[in-house]
Amino acid sequence: MDLSLSDEQKQLQDAAERFVRDKYAFENRRKIAATERGWLPENWAQMAELGWLGMSFKEEDGGYGGGPIETMIVMEQFGKGLVLEPFLPTVVLGGGMIAAAGSKAQKEALLAPMIEGKKQFAFAWLERQSRYNLADVSLKATKDGNGWSLSGHKGVVYNAASADNIIVLARTAGSAREEKGLTLFLVDGKAKGLTRRDYPTQDALRASELTFDKVSVGADAVLGKVDGAFPVVEEAVDRAIVALCAEATGCMDAINAATLEYIKTRKQFGVPIGKFQVLQHRMVDCFTNAQEARSMTLMASLKIDDKDPVVRRKAASGAKVQIGKSGRFCGQSAVQMHGGMGVTDELSVSHYFKRLTMIDLMFGNQQHHLTRYSNLAMAA
C-alpha cells in the first residue's frame, strides 16, 4: 500500500494549483461567470496545452495514460477555485463514455479533438420524472431508415449550449425504468429539431432544457450497443461522482481556510471570535469533516477502476454520502461563523456554500446514495 503521490502527480497538483491561483482569484471568477458562455476559451486552451484534457485516457485512445487519481488531483484544485470550465461534462462524462463505448471511428472523430481542446460535450440523461434513477428514461429513439429519430425532453443538461456533441440517453426498447433497452446517441449540438432553453444554475454554471422533435441521426450516431447503454452510463456516472467528490474536497478546504482566517481576525467582545470555545469546536468539526471527505474520495478514486462493478458502485455511493454530509456541515458552518457576511453575495464563502449544496443534488443526493449503498451492502 502506498498513498503518496508520484513525482508526476505532484507536478500535476502544482500546475493545477498555479492555474487556480493565476486565473481564479475570486473577483476574476465573478467576471468569468458573467460572460455569455460562462467560461473562458483561453482557459480551456490552456487546460488542453497542459495535457489535462487527455491525462486520464489510455495512450491508445490518444491520452497520456493516467487515471482516476489524476482526475482527482485536478478536480480538487478546481474546487478550490470554483473553476467554471466544463471539465466534468466534457472530459469526465463525455470523453469517459466515448472512451468506454466508442468505436475506433468515433474515438478518432471526437476523443482526439476533445483532448486537443477542440470539442466539447454534454451528457443529457435527466428527465422531469427521473429524479436520481438513471434508467427512468422516456425520450424515445425509433428506427428511421438506416438511422434513428429522437423525440422527447431532457433537463438540466450541463454545458449543452457550448457542446459540439450532446450524448443523449434514449429509450429504444423496454418499458419505463427498465435498465435494458437504453441506447446512447451522439447528437450534433446544432441538430435540426433540437431546441434549447439555456439558464445559469445556482452556482453560476450553465445548463439547458432540451427538446427533441424528430431529431434525425445516422446509424453511426449510436455510442456503444443498441439497448445496452445502461452499464456504460452507470459506470460513467460513478466516475463523475468521484470526480465531483474531489471537487467538493477542494471547496471544503477553501471554505474552511476562509472561515479559520475570519474567526482569527473578526473581533467581538474585545477578542477574536475564534477565542470562543463554541466556535473552536465547530471549526474542529469542519476540519474533521473535510478529512473524512478527503479520505472517502481517495478511497473511491482508488476503487473506481475495480473489475467488480459492486466494489465500484459501493465506493462511489459511499463517497457521495460522505461528501453530502461533510459539504453540508462545512458550508452551513462557514456561513454561520461568518455571520451576516456569510449570507452576502460579496464574499466567496456563500459561493462555495452554493457549489457544495449543488454537488449534493447532482447524480443523487446523500439520501439516495445511502440507500444505494445499503442495498448493495445488504445483497453481498
Which residues bind to another protein, rule: CB under 8 A? 126, 128-133, 136, 155-156, 176-177, 197, 199-203, 207, 209, 267-270, 273, 276, 278-279, 332, 335-336, 339-340, 342-346, 350-351, 353-354, 357-358, 361-362, 365, 367, 371
| Minimum distance from residue 340 beta carbon to another protein (Å) | 5
In the bound state with another protein, the residue whose beta carbon lies nearer, of 10 and 267, is: 267
Q: In what helix (H) or strand (E) does residue 353 lie, and over which residues does it extend? A: helix 348-361
**Residue of 163, 76, 184, 73 lying closest to 119 (CA atoms):** 163
In the bound state with another protein, the residue whose beta carbon lies nearer, of 136 and 292, is: 136
| Minimum distance from residue 377 beta carbon to another protein (Å) | 16
Q: Could you give the CA distance from residue 267 to residue 274 in angstroms, rounded to a whole number?
A: 9
In the bound state with another protein, the residue whose beta carbon lies nearer, of 56 and 348, is: 348
In the bound state with another protein, the residue whose beta carbon lies nearer, of 106 and 130, is: 130
| Minimum distance from residue 130 beta carbon to another protein (Å) | 8
| Minimum distance from residue 93 beta carbon to another protein (Å) | 15
Nine-digit cell at 127?
A: 428527465
Count Cβ atoms within 10 A of the Cβ of residue 287 and give its class: 0-12 exposed, 13-18 middle, 19 or more buried: middle
| Minimum distance from residue 158 beta carbon to another protein (Å) | 9
Strands 140-144 and 182-188: unpaired
In the bound state with another protein, the residue whose beta carbon lies nearer, of 75 and 349, is: 349
| Minimum distance from residue 155 beta carbon to another protein (Å) | 7
**Residue of 318, 302, 306, 312 lying closest to 369 (CA atoms):** 318
| Minimum distance from residue 14 beta carbon to another protein (Å) | 32
In the bound state with another protein, the residue whose beta carbon lies nearer, of 116 and 136, is: 136
Nine-digit cell at 228?
A: 445496452
In the bound state with another protein, the residue whose beta carbon lies nearer, of 62 and 155, is: 155
In the bound state with another protein, the residue whose beta carbon lies nearer, of 120 and 350, is: 350
Q: Max Cα separation, the chain?
A: 79
String of DSSP letters for 234-298: HHHHHHHHHHHHHHHHHHHHHHHHHHHHHHHH-EETTEEGGGSHHHHHHHHHHHHHHHHHHHHHH
| Sequence-ordered list of residues with C-beta below 8 angstroms from that of 350, at least 6 positions apart, any chain | 335, 342, 343, 344
Measured in Å, how far apart are the chain's first and last C-alpha atoms? 25
Nine-digit cell at 49?
A: 496545452
| Minimum distance from residue 281 beta carbon to another protein (Å) | 11
